[in-house]
Structure 1
């Protein structure tokens, strides 16, 4: 196989990349850290297709918390989840055909006290009790009411008390600023409905994680341009970008999405930074050590080739991998 010098591979793909082979099949390729899709909706996709197509872990950002809590443990992909969308009365995604009632909770009371019907703390506690790793809030002023600042602040404070970060769907003018002012930790999508200014972008880069989801805007060139420019500015300001696709949105086969990778690459998340976005453990801290990503065949020779090359990735047990470290 050509270009298998480990130093050259690490320079192109990051410090954890290495030439290697699968011990059982003796197939040669490149070994990378396990990849995560940081934004999926399991009730809308074929989950069993994720691992064979390169996704070792996934973060469900809007599903039935009870069904998610009842999932069998172990196996791949590893799943973490937010549980239900927390939204204002009549807010997004209430009434959407893809969003059954089980996947959203309307918060009608800013009460920080547990057990209040429709209360902020009650909604957060339900998701936490169901094993959520992150709390999801909907701030979509383009599709209905959103939380006022007081209610959003209570949701964030309640989540913090329970050791959970908060991720927001922001859509509509001023929604990113609303999330920032409340201390929201992450955005489920790169902001796409407005072009952010330098001050807002710098604040976000200092305090937030952004899930990319750039490739969902294929039918909306204005949204696509806004998202690409916002992400490039966020990255330039030192922001933490993680790979996510919003799988379930649109007709796409589950697995690594080369279109998302290409969009990230065009926004300046290239080479080792692209691999880091894929391998980031958000919203947790532990990485997936039991498996690795394996891309068979020759490695890419240039940065431009990496997004397409990664489309052949699969998940392989670590015990089956033999790395060439020399």
Structure 2
């Protein structure tokens, strides 16, 4: 098969022949739960941290991988992920008031401003109704509006009855996870696509029925023209640090194949890139069998673009 973004190249330092692609991005990680030093060697040049200490993230935002981040989860009192062992206090911000006035304790504007002022590129809100209280409609609307005023999209962890629908209705730009707890109706899928909502895959965190449901939902979303991003929720359980072959194969099973799979890996959302200084290098030519593409892509590594020489 032909991948439109692929170039045949040779590495100047090693003379190894292979293929160059744009830099890969994992659009859902938690850096405080992993050692990120191996990411570049294993193919990931950029990450989007979707729940961490905004001050700590601001301090580590230079170098590779390039980092965009949401800062803290915005959630209701007692809501997800408050109290989890993996979510220190600095990674959670409680929102109790829909106020759009700066400086109001517990206010939506105050919470959004705190993340934006720390350099956030996106705002994350927890709509996990299966794990505790969620913010009210009024608070959610204020969070989305406040983020919009700062030029930032909102991403939601939407889980539980009606939460995906709420995210669409209130203008949430992205879902942090492909819905996995129930089938998504055709009407809801059409509304999500029409709104331009993006879905981050995170398929490999699931097993059994939840995995099958997530793949089915993503297949239906992608078939309608929905924008899909590669993301793993790295830090959530025993996931490989680097490009995750299982995630790529699950995306392939969901119909996100070939150029669409490369697009999911290289999309700069929210604004991780583009980073023309580095590229993904995969040894050897692109495979001719589409079923071999996920495994082949998983062999990528990050190299300096200037190290690569185009060959015919």
| TM > 0.5 fold call | yes
SS of the residue corresponding to residue 9 of structure 2 reads: strand
TM-score normalised per structure 1 = 0.93
1:93 to 81, 85, 96: 81
Q: Name 1:4's counterpart in structure 2.
A: none
* Cα distance in structure 2, aligned partners of 1:45 and 1:306: 27
Give the 3-state SS of the residue equivalent to 1:195 in structure 2: coil
**Structure 1 unmatched ranges of 5 or more:** 1-10
Q: Which residue of 1 aligns with 2:283?
A: 296
**Corresponding residue SS for 1:126:** helix
Matched, 1:318 2:305: yes
CA RMSD of aligned residues (A): 1.1
TM-score (norm 2): 0.98
Query: 1:72: Cα distance to partner?
Result: 5.2
Q: Counterparts of 1:188 and 1:286 in 2: how far apart (Å)?
A: 19
Secondary structure at the aligned position of 1:142 is classed as helix
> Does residue 268 of structure 1 match 2:258?
no
1:12 pairs with one of 2, 24, 30: 2
Map residues 87-236 of structure 1 onto 2, 5 A cutoff: 87-207=75-195, 208-218=197-207, 221-236=208-223
What is the aligned partner in structure 2 of residue 306 from structure 1?
293
Q: CA deviation at 1:285?
A: 7.4
Matches within 5 A, 1:236-275: 236-275=223-262
User: Within 1, Cα distance between the matches of 2:252 and 2:165?
Assistant: 26
Residue segments in structure 2 that go unaligned for 5+ positions in a row:
none
Shift of 1:12: 2.4
Task: Tell me the CA shift for residue 247 of structure 1.
Answer: 0.2
* Contact map agreement 2:281 2:303 (CA 8 A) in 1: yes
In the alignment, is the contact (CA less than 8 A) between 1:12 and 1:302 conserved in 2?
Answer: no
Q: Are the aligned partners of 1:12 and 1:303 in contact in 2 as well (CA < 8 Å)?
A: no
- Alpha-carbon distance between aligned partners in 2 of 1:12 and 1:46, rounded to the nearest angstrom: 35
| Rounded Cα–Cα distance in structure 1 between residues aligned with 2:61 and 2:25 | 19
